[in-house]
């Protein structure tokens, strides 16, 4: 009976033993793998983002291309790199510069023709208010919505010619407005029968007509009477007569030179 108990294990027991030995966990190998994992670098912040972009960027572009294609969109035009871009030719650059310069010149001419004009005082007819070589800006557009007023300084064309044959332009002060009657007598200026107060002049200044003669004029509905502040040395309406509104160029707006007299005269 004892001899029978020491018999060899059956085939079924041998197979189970072999299976268990194949699936048995080997601690040394797992330990080595754990050490390898712990020694690998950990990606953080920007590194992790860059790694994900490298891994999935190409796949994302492929999916984007497939989506555009399914929607019927044209994806054939790619953004060119700097190497692919054609350099602008010198001729094209030159033409572009010339065109820009021409536009600037035209705009400047239009501005000075219709909006603001620079004038230089010549002579002493407006002293002491304006002196020779004062540099002024003349407003040429505000008269379109605002009428000229008495005592304003204006520039105007006259029927007299300069040495080079151009129309003489004068800078004077408005004394009489359309429809008013101006009279100059005994050194004083009268407006509609009453002596005109002129606070911009020194009290000693007297206004005379040539050879102490008498002058009286009633202005038309489009005429203005102009006088210079230096009454003894001014070529003004006492000599060339009333000025048509169409011959008024604009208001003296600003004196920008000399700097010690900078501002509105």
How many angstroms separate the CA atoms of 226 and 115, rounded?
Answer: 23
Q: Provide the token pair at 164.
A: 């080079």
Q: Provide the token pair at 125.
A: 């007819």
- Active site includes 125? yes
How many angstroms separate the CA atoms of 126 and 188, rounded?
Answer: 18
- Active site includes 172? yes
Q: Provide the token pair at 240.
A: 């060339």
How many angstroms separate the CA atoms of 193 and 198, rounded?
Answer: 15
CB 219 within 8 A of CB 242: yes
Q: Provide the token pair at 256.
A: 């920008």
How many angstroms separate the CA atoms of 113 and 246, rounded?
Answer: 15
Supply the DSSP string of 145-189, one letter for each residue: TS---TT-EEEEEEEEE-TTSPEEEEEEEEEE-TT-EEEEETTEE
The single residue of 70, 82, 125, 185 carrying the catalytic annotation is 125
- HSE-CB for 217 with a 13 A CA cutoff: 22
CB 118 within 8 A of CB 135: yes
The single residue of 140, 172, 183, 237 carrying the catalytic annotation is 172
b/e sequence 36-47, b meaning 16+ C-beta within 10 Å: eeeeeeeeeeee
Phi-psi category of 253—alpha, beta or left, where left has phi over 0 and alpha has psi -120 to 50? alpha
Active site residues: 125, 172
């Amino acid at each position: 009976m004892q001899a029978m108990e020491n018999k060899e294990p059956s085939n079924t027991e041998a197979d189970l033993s072999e299976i268990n030995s194949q699936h048995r966990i080997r601690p040394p190998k797992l330990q080595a793998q754990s050490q390898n994992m712990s020694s690998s670098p950990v990606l953080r912040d920007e590194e992790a983002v860059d790694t994900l972009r490298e891994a999935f960027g190409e796949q994302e572009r492929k999916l984007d291309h497939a989506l555009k294609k399914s929607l019927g969109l044209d994806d054939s035009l790619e953004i060119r790199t700097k190497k692919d871009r054609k350099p602008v030719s010198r001729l094209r650059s030159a033409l572009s510069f010339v065109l820009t310069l021409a536009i600037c010149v035209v705009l400047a001419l239009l501005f000075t023709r219709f909006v603001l004009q620079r004038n230089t005082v010549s002579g002493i007819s407006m002293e002491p208010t304006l002196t020779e070589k004062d540099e002024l800006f003349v407003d040429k557009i505000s008269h379109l919505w605002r009428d000229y007023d008495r005592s304003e300084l204006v520039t105007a064309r006259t029927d007299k010619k300069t040495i080079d044959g151009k129309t003489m332009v004068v800078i004077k002060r408005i004394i009489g407005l359309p429809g008013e009657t101006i009279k100059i007598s005994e050194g004083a200026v009268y407006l509609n029968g009453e002596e005109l107060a002129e606070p911009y002049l020194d009290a000693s200044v007297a206004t005379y007509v040539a050879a102490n003669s008498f002058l009286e004029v009633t202005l038309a509905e489009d005429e203005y009477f102009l006088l210079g502040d230096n009454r003894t040395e001014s070529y003004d309406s006492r000599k060339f007569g009333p000025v048509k509104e169409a011959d008024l160029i604009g208001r003296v707006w600003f004196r920008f030179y000399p700097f010690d007299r900078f501002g509105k005269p």
